[in-house]
Amino acid sequence: MIFHGVDVKRQFKRMRELVPEAYRTFLEFDGKAFADGALPLKTKQLIALGMAHITQCPWCINAHAQRARKAGASDIEIGEVIFVSMAMAAGAAWSHGGLTLQCLDEPAAK
């Protein structure tokens, strides 16, 4: 798979070769984070998909969309996640608008 001109499989292999202990530790952590617990795997994958939209990571969007589907998420559930992500991104811009206006209320730094 290639994203942003990067051969992900090749470069992940290279990362593993360069720093094998960190690579293995990350995969172990990732496995534990996505293990069934208080939240089932499907819910965790839908959360991850929404966060991938917010962080704008195309590799993560692809990976978690596929994993959510494999965990039983429907296209409708995935569609709703997309719109929740859109709402969260818009909400962040909205709240930062308040920060901007507050900055204008404060005296300019000299």
44: exposed, middle or buried (Cβ count in 10 Å: 0-12, 13-18, 19+): buried
pLDDT at 110: 61
pLDDT at 108 over 80: no
For residues 52 and 67, membership in a common domain is answered with yes
For residues 109 and 70, membership in a common domain is answered with yes
For residues 44 and 81, membership in a common domain is answered with yes
pTM: 0.81
Eight-class DSSP state of 108: P
For residues 89 and 104, membership in a common domain is answered with yes
For residues 52 and 104, membership in a common domain is answered with yes
Q: What is the CATH number of the domain that holds 73?
A: 1.20.1290.10
Q: d(Cα 12, Cα 104) in Å, to the nearest integer? A: 45
In 10 A of CB 15, how many CB atoms? 13
For 84, how many CA atoms within 13 A lie in the half-sphere containing its CB? 13
Per the structure, the complete domain to which residue 93 belongs is given by 38-110
Give the count of domains, the chain.
2
For residues 91 and 64, membership in a common domain is answered with yes
Tell me phi and psi for residue 78, to 5 degrees. -65, -40
For residues 88 and 51, membership in a common domain is answered with yes
For residues 45 and 29, membership in a common domain is answered with no
> To the nearest whole percent, how much of the chain has pLDDT over 90?
75
For residues 4 and 17, membership in a common domain is answered with yes
41: exposed, middle or buried (Cβ count in 10 Å: 0-12, 13-18, 19+): middle
pLDDT at 5: 80
| Per-residue model confidence as pLDDT tens digits over 41-90 | 999 999 999 999 999 988 899 999 999 999 999 999 999 999 999 999 99
pLDDT at 109: 65
